[in-house]
Amino acid sequence: MIKKTLFFSKPAHLHQQYKQLIIELKQEGTRHQVPIEDIGIVVLENQQITITQSVIASLLENNACVLWCDEKHMPSGLLLSMAHNHTYTEKVRFQLEASEPLKKNLWKQTVTAKIRNQASLLRQLGLEYKPLQRWSTEVSSGDKENIEAKAASFYWEKIFTYLNTRTTRHRHGPPPNNLLNYGYAILRAVIARNLVASGCLLMVGIYHRNKYNPYCLADDIMEPYRPFIDRLIIDFVSRLGQIPETLTPAHKKELLSIPAIDVIIDSQKSPLMVGSQRTTSSLVACFKGESKKILYPNLE
């Protein structure tokens, strides 16, 4: 079952009663309730939201993640269960003992899948895509030639030209980077949640190594999923007829559909939240030596 994503942009008080999340909206004077076991992601945007410790503990117990936003209403913090998987210690040991050749092979698969999906998106948009298609077959173990970066430069030039903007892809760049940042933050939360559920240690990546980043593994595994977010944003901007300078609650509501968008893995369609669980489970199988292939989606 796909879990619910709850987004709070107005002042609210969140507490629980009989395993139900009780939502009291202060301005409207209304009260709502949602079963905590049905919740996958909670986004807290308003600075006047209060939440009880019992709610946080119950959300973590049910492997829900909580995404906090800063005063600019952009995601700034992520709270996850520390060890939701029953055989967590064993699986972490397999992850920590993974050999360098294995990690390099896993990164090759990741980069190949990402570039292949970037090529598919450009093809769907009627843009030049064949260089990406060719580069996806040339990725070596560990991507030592850094084909990922070459592909990204080509890809974003085409995407931003299509959107009729002269900007470049940068976290702190002008719109539509704001849309991309928000969408990727939601994606990162979904992937991180599923990695924890599969028994992985988030701060130990297969490629990303940053002492300031506690989500290195999520940043690795989300790479082939990024073009799905790009497509959602391009479709949204096309319907809107312009690139929004600031994100309204309506814009964010559109991006909060990310866990429910369809992905296809091995010809099987499922919501992204469910499909990415297959991906994270297959990663653990690779760490354990039971498989050599990560199950990534194809953008078709």
d(CA 74, CA 181): 8
CB atoms within 10 A of CB 236: 18
Confidence band of 84 (pLDDT split at 50, 70, 90): low
Token pair listed for 198: 């599969």
Query: Looking at the predicted structure, is the pLDDT value of residue 190 above 90?
Result: yes
pLDDT averaged over every residue in the chain: 93
Can you give the residue range of the structural domain that contains 24? 4-79
Domain-ending residue, one of 45, 79, 113: 79
User: Is residue 85's pLDDT more than 60?
Assistant: no
Indicate which CATH number applies to the domain containing 27.
Answer: 3.100.10.20
**Are 69 and 108 members of one domain?**
no
Q: What is the pLDDT of residue 86?
A: 64
The DSSP string of the chain is: -PPEEEEE-S-EEEEEETTEEEEEETTTTEEEEEEGGGEEEEEE--TTEEE-HHHHHHHHHTT-EEEEE-TTSSEEEEE--S--STTHHHHHHHHHT--HHHHHHHHHHHHHHHHHHHHHHHHHTT---HHHHHHTT-PPGGGTT-HHHHHHHHHHHHHHHHTT------TTSSTTHHHHHHHHHHHHHHHHHHHHHHT--TT--SS---TT-TTHHHHHHTGGGHHHHHHHHHHHHHHHTS--SS--HHHHHHHTTGGGSEEEETTEEEEHHHHHHHHHHHHHHHHTTS-S-----B--
84 is in an annotated binding site: no
State the CATH number of the domain containing residue 257: 1.20.120.920
> Using CA atoms, how far apart are residues 179 and 35, in angstroms rounded to an integer?
30
Q: Is 223 annotated as a binding residue?
A: yes
Distance CA 29, CA 183 (A): 31
Residue 170 annotated as lining a ligand binding site: no
pLDDT of 1 reads: 65
- Same domain? 53 vs 97: no
Supply the pTM of this predicted model: 0.89
Token pair 């002269």 is found at 166
Specify whether 61 is located in the same domain as 169: no
At 138-179, the pLDDT tens digits run 999 999 999 999 999 999 999 999 999 988 898 888 999 999
Q: What is the pLDDT of residue 168?
A: 87
Whether residues 275 and 140 share a domain: the answer is: yes
Q: Is residue 73 part of a domain?
A: yes
Judge contact between 123 and 117, C-beta under 8 A: no
Reading the block at residue 117, the tokens are 């999906």
Whether residue 237 lies inside any domain: the answer is yes
Strand partners, 263: 270
Q: Is residue 299 part of a domain?
A: no
Domain's final residue, options 51, 79, 107? 79
CA dist., res. 92 & res. 82, Å (int)? 12
Judge if 224 and 99 occupy the same domain: yes
Count structural domains, the chain: 2
Asked which of 42, 57, 79 is the last residue of a domain, the reply is 79
Is position 296 within any domain?
no
Q: 185 with 60, same domain?
A: no
Residue 220 lies in a domain: yes
Which tens digit of pLDDT belongs to each residue from 109-127? Answer: 999 999 999 999 999 999 9
Residues 11 and 106 in one domain: no
Q: How confident is the model at residue 250 (pLDDT cuts 50, 70, 90)?
A: confident
C-alpha–C-alpha distance, residues 183 and 82, integer Å: 24
Judge if 219 and 93 occupy the same domain.
yes
